[in-house]
Amino acid sequence: MRKLASTNFENQKRLESLCGLPHAMEVLKGRWKVNILWSISLGNKRYGEIKKDIGFISEKMLTQRLRESEADGLIIRKDFQTIPPHVEYYLTEIGTDLIPVLDQLCKWGYKARNKNDKEISEH
Amino acid sequence: MRKLASTNFENQKRLESLCGLPHAMEVLKGRWKVNILWSISLGNKRYGEIKKDIGFISEKMLTQRLRESEADGLIIRKDFQTIPPHVEYYLTEIGTDLIPVLDQLCKWGYKARNKNDKEISEH
DNA sequence: CATTATACGTACTTTATTGTATGTACCCTA
DNA sequence: TAGGGTACATACAATAAAGTACGTATAATG
């Protein structure tokens, strides 16, 4: 739960008003979000598929992050209203737009990791 | 401080081993990091300049994040060894490579924010 | 008739991050 | 000689995120 009257919260708002970057980071933050979005972009639609794809995410985390990404407008939740339940998740337009950026970030991440590992092992 | 034997920690490591994306997010996480890096990329070199540029970051946060980004290999700290102290921060090569990606992310962030605001105000 | 599968919800504990307050050592300027 | 600037460090309190354990309803399967 967010505490609306804390400096913590205020600082985040102030940052987000400065430029788009903090908003982007806010929307992507948390351990699992980018992986969930990525997984959906690869064609995993159902809760169970995403869970299996990531492998070791807890059900609580998955549900929570999916809800947040839905609220942020990145994904759409389609409930087939059946029993047992059948739900599918899709990227929205803005969610889809994010994927190439994540791809860039991923490539950078590889480079950064290798570079740093190398430098550390040189000692 | 990180607790090395927690599931929390282990999960992060597991994710990072999967692809470059979690590593990138790990390196950029926290409220202030991307703004600090951005500020340096704009030409702010000194501690005080970065602090003034962001405006409302506490000194503790700034120091802490600078140290982390240095450990992650994104920036270099050049201490002029004078009294009163004079220190300058520069982006490394890999740190510089990140800037265009952050720029993309920033643009996406604007779009995502506007889109979401609009949809919310339509209710 | 017990198990598995679906997609969650809720209460609780553990870990991690962020913020606040204060102190440091020295220099320069008024 | 009092105050401001430089670039931090440290102890502590407040807040947020992540993980654990357990429970739900129903249907199909063995």
Q: Which of B24, B56, B97 sits opposite A14 (nearest CB)?
A: B56
Residue B70, CA atoms < 13 Å, CB-side half-sphere: 13
Query: Is residue B116 scored above 80 in pLDDT?
Result: no
Q: Is A110 helix (H, G, I), strand (E, B) or coil?
A: helix
Q: Which positions 38-57 of B are in contact with A (Cβ < 8 Å)?
A: 38, 55-56
pLDDT given for residue A3 in this prediction: 79
* Most distant CA pair in chain B, distance: 59
Judge whether residue B118 has pLDDT over 90. no
Note down the domain range covering A19.
Answer: 13-96
CB–CB contact A28 B25 (8 Å): yes
- Does the CB of B14 have a partner CB in chain A at under 8 Å? yes
Residue A84: other Cβ atoms inside 10 A: 4
pLDDT-derived band of residue A93, with 50, 70 and 90 as boundaries?
very high
Residue A6 lies in a domain: no
| Angstrom distances, CA of residue B16 to CA of A34, A63, B117 | 12, 21, 33
Q: How far is CA A30 from CA A26, B37, B44, in A?
A: 9, 20, 29
Residue A69 lies in a domain: yes
In chain A, which residue's Cα lies nearest the Cα of B11? Answer: A56
Q: What is the mean pLDDT of residues A77-82?
A: 92
Q: How far apart (Å, rounded) are the C-alpha atoms in residues A118 and A110?
A: 12
Q: What backbone torsions phi and psi does residue B79 show, to the nearest 5 degrees? A: -100, 120
Q: State residue B86's pLDDT score.
A: 95
Which residues are within 7 Å of strand D by their Cβ atom? A 1-3, 6, 8-9, 29-32, 57-61, 83-85; B 6-8, 11-12, 46-48, 59-60, 63, 66-67, 77, 79, 84-87
- Strand residues in chain A grouped as ranges (E): 75-79, 87-91
10 Å CB burial of residue A50 (0-12, 13-18, 19+) is buried
Contact state of A21 with B94 under an 8 Å Cβ cutoff: no
* Span B83-109, average pLDDT: 96
CA distance A28 to A69: 8
Average pLDDT in the A20-48 region? Answer: 95
Paired with A98 in beta bridges are: none
A51-64 confidence digits (pLDDT tens): 999 989 999 999 99
Please answer yes or no on whether A35 and B27 come within 8 Å at the CB atom: no
pLDDT at A102 over 90: yes
Residue A122 lies in a domain: no
Which amino acid is located at B116 in the chain? Answer: N
When pLDDT is averaged across residues B86-95 and rounded to a whole number, the result is 97
Is residue A8 a part of any domain in this protein?
no
Instruction: Kindly state whether residue B102 falls inside one of the protein's structural domains.
Output: yes
Q: How confident is the model at residue B25 (pLDDT cuts 50, 70, 90)?
A: very high
Q: Across chain B, how many H-helices and E-strands are there?
A: 6, 2
Q: Is the peptide bond before B84 cis (omega within 30 degrees of 0)?
A: yes
Q: Give chain A's domain count.
A: 1
Q: Kindly state whether residue B5 falls inside one of the protein's structural domains.
A: no
Identify whether B4 is part of a domain: no
Q: Is residue B78 part of a domain?
A: yes
CATH number of A53's domain: 1.10.10.10
Does an H or E element contain A43, and which? none
